[in-house]
Structure 1
Amino acid sequence: MDGGRLHRLGKRLIELSSQATGEDSDLALTPGEAAVLEDVIKHPASSISEIHQRTGFVQSHVSVSVSRLKARGLVEAVTDPSDGRRTRVRIADAALQAITRRAARRIDQVLGRTIDDPAQARRATELLEELADLLL
């Protein structure tokens, strides 16, 4: 497999993942907000500056994204007790529970709608499980 085909496969897997984990009632996030939220999940209690450094977004963009995420109840931002000028950001418990529920959704139905042959859809699921075991 060449790099171009791998890239196309990766994009298609992201599309299928979004179909499996998304719902009409889910909040729509901008790509920047999604990246900031992902960083906060991976690095709890990070400062705005630390998020800025890891994501590559300008600090003002990170601050605006955190404010929007906070307004939606997805993150909590508190003043750092050791440095009152610094804000520490972490995922809100309710948001983490919702993300965990979404991530646990099975892909079987999505693959069944994508691949007409039920046996081939099951085989694709098995191959994806095997690939995940090898690469993750």
Structure 2
Amino acid sequence: MDLALLGRTLMKLGEASIPTEGIGGHGTSAQSVIIVAADIKAHPGTPVKDVAARTGFPQSKVSACVARLREAGAVETHTDPADRRRTLISPARTASPRVAEVRSADIDGVLTRVLEDPERLDEVKAALRVLAEHLGPSALTRLGD
């Protein structure tokens, strides 16, 4: 099995399930924003520099993703009390309406469109739940460099 190809396919399916009505254009891809959001969730109170190091993205790309996430109400930023020149990023304490909308997005329609046998939708969703349980964002932390 080509894990990289499966991962890319799952990422594209996830992106396709995100509602996009009324959010306008952005210079950052949904995939980049998702990766940055997952890193921030796994490492709350983190500076942009550290997110860039963990994701492999340039700091400018991480900053653009953080701006998009802040605009959506998904993250909050605050000045680092230990170094006032640094900004720390954390998941928002309360989900904004946009974040709640994305989190509640239904994947059934996307999966039904791409499955060769739509009758297996429940089986595929069960498999995805198992993968999510065992291979969530914290798995990347355990992987290390």
Q: TM-score range by the shorter chain?
A: 0.5 to 0.7
**Alpha-carbon distance, 1:30 to partner:** 1.1
Highest CA radius of gyration, 1 or 2? 1
- Count how many residue pairs are aligned between Structure 1 and Structure 2: 132
Counterpart mapping for 1:86-97 below 5 A: 86-93=86-93
Q: Is the 8 A contact 1:39 1:55 kept in 2?
A: yes
- In the alignment, what sits opposite 1:78? 78
Per residue, is there more strand in 1 or in 2? 1
The structure whose residues are more often helix, as a share, is: 1
Note the 1:31-42 alignment, pairs <5 A.
Answer: 31=29, 34=33, 35-42=35-42
Give structure 2 stretches of 5+ with no counterpart.
Answer: 137-145
Q: RMSD of the alignment, in Å?
A: 3.6
Partner of 1:51: 51
Q: TM-score, normalised by structure 2?
A: 0.61
Higher alpha-carbon deviation: 27-36 or 38-47: 27-36
Cα distance, 1:111 vs. partner? 2.1
AA in 2 matched with 1:52? A
Looking at structure 2, the residues matched to 67 and 134 of structure 1 have their Cα atoms a distance apart, in angstroms, of 26
Check 1:73–1:105 CA distance in 2 against 1; reply closer, same or farther (3 A cut): closer
What is the rounded CA distance, in whole Å, between the counterparts of 1:104 and 1:68 in structure 2? 22
Q: 1:104 to 1:65 in 2, by over 3 A?
A: same
User: Residue 109 in 1 paired to residue 109 in 2?
Assistant: yes
Give the unaligned 5+ runs of structure 1.
none
Q: Is the 8 A contact 2:28 2:65 kept in 1?
A: no
> TM-score scaled to structure 1, two decimals?
0.63
Offset, 1:79? 1.7
